[in-house]
Amino acid sequence: MAERPRFSIVIPCFNEAGYVTDALLSLRKQDFDGVFEVVVVDNNCTDDTAGIARDFGARVVAEPVPGVCNARQRGTEAAFGEIVVSADADTVYERDWLSRIDARFREDDRVVAVVGPCRYADGPRWGAVYGRLLFGAVNGFYRLTGRAAYASATNIAFRREAWTGYDTSLTQGGDELDQLRRLRKQGRVVYDHGNPTYTSGRRLNRGLAYNLFVTLPVHYLLTYAVNRVAGRRVLGQAPAFREADR
């Protein structure tokens, strides 16, 4: 019988052929010396995302219901690992990223999750400042209170046994905000500010004002709050990052 993976890295994908190669290459180069798998969720891709993932040795599973929460739910259900890691297709990972996560789990058996920040790998200059300020505030709050208030969905690792599911009535933001809320109820969540991921700046292509006054307060915070209270999707997905792909 094959050894159970220590980690399952789950990557939800909708038409990510232009990005997923770099993500998978960075995962192939990890210095972690244990067993891990990569699970790519095909969320109705019409491009070659699934084929590229298979070429890199990833296990591809299909989720026909659109939406990132549905895709992460399907990928986590299919995961074999002791620890599941939420990742993204347009994100790359430092060589020691996974081994650092592993070390934090091994420090304390009470730790149910290890989460971290992301930085923008490209895009406008203000994006780098925006990301550092956002996660600098998250880190300051964690140092003061011991509470991980936010994490990037590109960088959330949790024990499979502590997972209670994704709320698939939610949209963007639900995969990180709601999952953190659930995990905090299960045990200790460690925020590791020194282990970032590097994600595409395509999220910033509508400008600083749009991100400050629309994306964050409306598409993430308000949409998450309304849908969670209602228990269904009252407010829908944010507009796609790449309109041509939709």
Res 211 pLDDT > 80:
no
Collapsing DSSP states into helix, strand and coil, what is residue 36? strand
Look at residues 69, 28, 80, 36 and name the one whose alpha carbon lies nearest to residue 168: 69
Q: What average pLDDT score do residues 208-225 get?
A: 59
CA dist 44 and 217 (Å) reads 28
pLDDT at 21: 98
Residue 18 burial by CB count (10 A; 0-12/13-18/19+): exposed, middle or buried?
Answer: middle
Q: What average pLDDT score do residues 112-130 get?
A: 91
Name the pLDDT band for 176 (thresholds 50, 70, 90).
confident
Res 173 pLDDT > 90:
no
Tokens found for residue 113: 């999750």
CA dist 216 and 244 (Å) reads 23
pTM above 0.85, yes or no: yes
CA dist 213 and 161 (Å) reads 37
Query: What CATH class does 7-239 carry?
Result: alpha beta
Domain boundaries, the chain: 7-239
CA dist 141 and 150 (Å) reads 10
Q: Which of 19-23, 184-188, 212-216, 240-244 has the lowest mean pLDDT?
A: 240-244
Collapsing DSSP states into helix, strand and coil, what is residue 172? coil
